[in-house]
Amino acid sequence: MMSYTLARLPEFGVQKMFAMSADLKLDGLDMVTLYDQKPADIRKMSEDYGVPLVAYTFFARGLAYPDAQNRQQGIDDCKRGIEIAVELGVPTVMLPPSPPKDCQDREAIRRNYIEGIKKVMPFAKQAGINFTVENFPGQYSPFVTSADFLAAQAEIPDLRLTFDNGNAASGGEEVGESFTRVAKFVEHAHFKDWYISAEQQEGYRAMLDGKWYRAALIGEGDIDQRSTVRAMQAAGYDKYINIEYEGNDYSGEEAMRKAVEYLRSLFAEL
């Protein structure tokens, strides 16, 4: 389970999230920030409910900028995120590489992230933490396509990827092919779905591929979930997958239960 799926909705509570994960017999939980909790308290909940913590997601927006002050702030945020991961006992962290709001040059922003992550990677390696970025959606996101990630990985050999199949589609790639290109570097994965339109519509956002996207529940949108699963099976991927839902058609609990049922059925079918 990805805590983000529940955290943005009114009924969210950290303890309830662990209880639901246990009830659904999920294999683990990805904490997206700490929600004002102490790492030790979250780790205790994990132990009490028998739900392992498998990843920690944090933000370091300063890395998007070229100046020394912002970059150092981003580096410090990354180091603190890695320290929290160690306290939580998780093996993997994820940095969502979001662009600044006024960005119109995604190549320049990618360069900024690369230079910042280079400074962080020795700290992550010393801590024994897998450091990943996500292929993040948006017209000007620095990491959307497999080629975007591979360009960074060529400069930072220890960099790993949290693969998001819905976001891969937003870069114009067939999702299974995108996964296959980066499979050996994938440390974690998000399943997501979108409704896709060739024309602008209310509630849809523009993406890199020139189309328009609105959040859907996994299995109800236009993303080829079967292709993703087949590519993972062909590559021998045996790590965690995360359930992500950004829409408002369902409550967080209903969305999670529906998505879990759909994915279990899909994996059993294939």
In tens digits, the chain (270 residues) has pLDDT values of 788 777 766 667 899 999 999 999 999 999 999 999 999 999 999 999 999 999 999 999 999 999 999 999 999 999 999 999 999 999 999 999 999 999 999 999 999 999 999 999 999 999 999 999 999 999 999 999 999 999 999 999 999 999 999 999 999 999 999 999 999 999 999 999 999 999 999 999 999 999 999 999 999 999 999 999 999 999 999 999 999 999 989 988 899 999 999 999 999 999
Give the residue among 83, 79, 94, 77 at the shortest CA–CA distance from 3: 94
pLDDT tens digits, 139-152: 999 999 999 999 99
pLDDT tens digits, 51-97: 999 999 999 999 999 999 999 999 999 999 999 999 999 999 999 99
pLDDT value at residue 13: 85
Give the residue among 13, 20, 15, 10 at the shortest CA–CA distance from 258: 20
- List the domain range (segments joined by +) for residue 223: 3-269
- pTM (two decimals): 0.96
pLDDT value at residue 268: 95
pLDDT value at residue 8: 67
pLDDT value at residue 252: 84
Count of domains observed in the chain = 1
* CATH number of the CATH domain containing 22: 3.20.20.150
pLDDT value at residue 4: 77
pLDDT value at residue 171: 98
State the virtual CA torsion across 212, 215, 219, 221 in degrees, nearest 10: -30
Beta strand 212-216 with 193-197 is antiparallel
The span from the CA of 39 to the CA of 241, in Å, is 23
How far, in Å, are 116, 162, 203, 227, 253 from residue 250 at the CA level?
38, 25, 16, 25, 8
Q: What would the two tokens of residue 38 be?
A: 């102490």
pLDDT value at residue 9: 66
